[in-house]
Chains A and B, each alone.
Chain A
Amino acid sequence: MKHVNNKLSLQLDVSDFLPAGQEEKQSLVIMRESVSFWRDGVRRFKKNKIAMASLTVVILVLIFAFIMPAFYPYSYEQQIRGSENLAPMQYSQQELELKASGVKVFPHILGTDSLGRDTMIRLMYGSRISLLVGLVASVLVLIIGSVYGSIAGYFGGKVDMVMMRIVDIIYTVPDILIIILLMVTLKYPLEDLANNVPGFGWINTIGVGLICIFIVFSLLYWVGMARIVRSQILSLKEQEFVTAAKALGASHGRIIRKHLLINSMGALIVTTTLQIPSAIFTESFLSFIGIGVAAPMPSLGSMASDAIGGIQSYPYRLLAPAIMISLIILSFNLLGDGLRDAFDPKLKD
């Protein structure tokens, strides 16, 4: 190829006008895989260091709460005689004697409480309750809210107006007052149901307190989700692919499930994740004021509440649940923020 030194020269280079070879054509084709919505989101999420760190913490807490208790030698309700009020890593007289005689005694890593129960295992179970409440409540809210919101948004008109007025009213109800009242009152019919009606014995295995919390949350907290789903559906239902699906004879249910909800998945995931910490927050608050999960089942809130009595002599008993609950809420908050940035940048306020 002849090199032209003078850029302003009008002399044309003949080689520029030759037909392109196969190789040259290949290099012009954009060789990049098409990136789906999910893969794009995951890629963005992985780049976010804070979000990845919070995801790691969440997984660690899940392991701590759901897997570790299986390998832990003490149980949360076991009251070890003679081992009351031990400091972290301290052994009681009996345990020291046992140790001296060669028997291996597992240390009380965080000490024991005034009834001789190991604090570490109670912390694990307390975290389990918190996580369970957060996860189950959010899934319930997700289901109720998305069904309600999508029906209101999809059918529009009078249906929408009536349904959204109901949402508006529930939205203005001061939730915490009703939650406290419901928590106290629901306990009795539920206990009655569990003990006297056959087929409802499972209520006792899960615990009346937990069921109460689930019911209360699913009664009151779905309104926010319903509003978000409705607004998503409202904008999506005008798009061409919905018209196409209608023209092809898809039923309303199918359009809502397969087209509208799938397309608002980003917003759904983000809102559900951000619901988790708020549910955990409320549960710990309820247990703290003494109307949450019933004893002997520990909750992080009730553990903190129990610790106040002995705050002068055993301050570490307060710190363990306090740190745990803050850590759980913080990591879920950050995880939710990360998911929002990755999957639904529009939602950022």
Chain B
Amino acid sequence: MPAYITKRLLMSIFTLWLVATLTFALMFMVPGGPFLAEKAPSEATLKALNQKYGLDQPKIVQYKNYMIKFLQGDMGVSLKQRGRTVSSIIFTGFKVSARVGGLGILLALLIGIPLGSIAALNRGKWIDNVIVVFSTAGIAVPSFVVSTVLMLIFSVKLDLLPTYGLTSWEHYIMPVIALSLYPASYISRLMRTSMLEVLGQDYMRTARAKGLSQFKMLFKHALRNAILPVVTYLGPLLAYTLTGSFVVEKIFTIPGLGSEFISSIVNRDYTMIMGTTIFLAALIIIMNLLVDIAYKIIDPRIQFK
């Protein structure tokens, strides 16, 4: 097991380095710089600015400087949001995004797992059909459609919920629902298939035969085994939540990390692009790594290679 973890860890670090380098290379392919969008700075100012942030040096030197600083834990200062360090912007943005995204993931799990189990336990009955239809429809609706339609119904037509910002608990309702609909549907489908498989296993018949209570049978035997595919889905789920958060944060004007990422690209805020990309990539890669390791701990049948 330590060998496996070391191997995966090394590969993750390599991937992260690859992403960072790729981002660095791509970033400079875009014409224009961070200071051009402002009211036409003079030649001298531009030169001074470039010099101040080290943008006048050859790209390879800039790359080396950035990487060395990064390894020392310094992600530099934002080129656009003057006076703020990249890490502080990422930290504030991430706090907001993590709250919305975390609630979204939690809601998806709380809806998806029970719904999938209920569907599997009532296979072929009307409740199963209803759940299957809803979850099939749920994975076909992009998050921007869910967000905008929710907004249309609850804010425009019924005037119940606020449309932008994140100042009270009511602000969380729509973004969280919009983020969780797709994963909730996906999890319920996943849970239904794996539950059906588990229910047909021999050990379930044994459990029934030795007279276990329905409750014990479901929670100690069935659910524990059926939940494994959902655990593996947690990694992709995080990546999905991130994608969804780009859209949801844009629609509901939430000052999260997703909107910071998009605006940093638009603004050519080089240090911000690097910082957010590396941070988000690391988040996803580490999450996938943890999920893989957790999966192998939960299910001892899986061999370490």
Interface residues of A (CB under 8 A from B): 168-169, 172-178, 180-182, 184-185, 188-189, 277, 281, 284-285, 288-289, 301, 304-305, 307-308, 311-312, 315, 318-319, 322, 325-326, 329-330, 333-334, 349
Contacts and interface: CB of A to CB of B under 8 A. Distances in A.
From B18, B157, B243, B273, residue with most partner A Cβ within 10 Å: B243
Interface stretch (B70-78, B98-106, B208-216, B246-254): B246-254
B140 A176 contact: no
Given A169-B18, A173-B19, A177-B19, A304 B145 contact: yes
Given A174-B280, A181-B22, 16 more contacts: A174-B281, A176-B239, A177-B19, A177-B23, A180-B246, A180-B261, A185-B30, A188-B31, A304-B145, A304-B148, A305-B144, A308-B251, A315-B152, A318-B152, A329-B142, A330-B140
B29 A177 contact: no
B37 interface: no
Q: Is the interface of A mostly helix, strand, loop or mixed?
A: helix
Contact of A174 (B31, B140, B149, B284): B284
B121 interface: no
A307 B243 contact: no
A285 B27 contact: no
Contacts of A315: 152, 156-157
Interface in B147-203: 148-149, 151-152, 156-157, 193
Nearest to B246: A289
A304 B151 CA distance: 13
B142 A281 contact: yes
B144 A330 contact: no
Contacts of A305: 144
Contacts of A326: 137, 140-142, 145
Nearest to A324: B145
Nearest to B258: A289
A181 B27 contact: yes
B139 A333 contact: yes
A48 B150 CA distance: 33
Contact of A330 (B18, B22, B31, B136): B136
B120 to A, nearest CB: 14
Contact of A177 (B139, B247, B281): B281
Contacts of A169: 11, 14-15, 18
B137 A330 contact: yes
A289 B247 contact: yes
A168 B305 CA distance: 15
B265 A307 contact: no
B281 A311 contact: no
B12 interface: yes
B144 A284 contact: yes
A288 B144 CA distance: 8
B262 interface: yes
Nearest to B143: A285
22 contacts: A169-B14, A172-B12, A176-B242, A177-B23, A177-B261, A177-B280, A180-B262, A181-B27, A181-B273, A185-B30, A188-B30, A277-B140, A285-B144, A288-B144, A304-B148, A315-B157, A319-B149, A322-B145, A322-B149, A325-B145, A326-B142, A330-B136
